[in-house]
Amino acid sequence: MLERFTEDTRQVVVHAEEQARELRHGQVGTEHLLLGLLSRPETLSARLLAARGVDHARVRAEVVRIVGNATGGDIDAEALETIGIDLSAVREKIEEVFGVGALDRDPRRGRRGGLLSGRRAPFSPRARKTLELALREAIALKSKDIRDGHILLGVIREGEGLGVRILTDAAVDLSELRAEIRSGL
């Protein structure tokens, strides 16, 4: 399926992963896909959403309000620094004792991917379903590529994720938006 993604669409997915990682969310959800769509203002999806008052800053604020932002959780480098703890020095000492990458392993599973690592977050079942629905939308519209509009159609069609909830909370008429996306593709 990924081979059918346009470069813009690949960047949407990359940005969604980055947003999940920055917010320290355990997986990429439909809300992160929506953020990814809004990260590329030149795309059809971003333009249509902006015309409805939905932009990256607004969606991110809603995601943080609803889901939370784990960046202020257990590992807050600035907070630790204020009490005299240098997180990079702690990492170095731990790696001296336990080996390079010790903090990057998930101790429950014995594999890389701790909070300090740059690992990719897995996609939630709803996000995977959204991407599958994006492919179906592309096929239905006889498109050879999966474009950003197809992903937005997938978010709408999935219908239960946080992405669509944010849109409905913003009073976006999903039927109207769907029609505009389809006509713009």
- The total number of structural domains that make up the chain: 2
Same domain for 66 and 17? yes
- Residue range 135-141: average pLDDT? 93
> Where among 61, 89, 112 does a domain terminate?
112
Residues 170 and 105 in one domain: no
Res 110: pLDDT = 43
Residues 15 and 59 in one domain: yes
Boundaries of domain holding 151: 2-70+120-184
pTM: 0.72
Q: Are residues 105 and 124 in the same domain?
A: no
**HEC readout, the chain:** CHHHECHHHHHHHHHHHHHHHHCCCCCECHHHHHHHHHCCCCCHHHHHHHCCCCCHHHHHHHHHHHHCCHHHCCCCHHHHHHCCCCHHHHHHHHHHHHCCCHHHEECCCCEECCCCCCCCCCECHHHHHHHHHHHHHHHHCCCCCECHHHHHHHHHHHCCCHHHHHHHHCCCCHHHHHHHHHHHC
8 A C-beta contact, residue 29 and residue 126: yes
Flag whether pLDDT at 173 surpasses 90.
yes
Assess whether 130 and 152 both reside in one domain.
yes
- The residue among 85 and 170 whose pLDDT is bigger is 170
61 with 130, same domain: the answer is yes
**What is the C-alpha separation between 52 and 41, in angstroms, rounded?**
14
Structural contact between residues 9 and 151, judged by C-beta atoms closer than 8 angstroms: yes
**pLDDT at position 27, please?**
87
36 pLDDT more than 70: yes
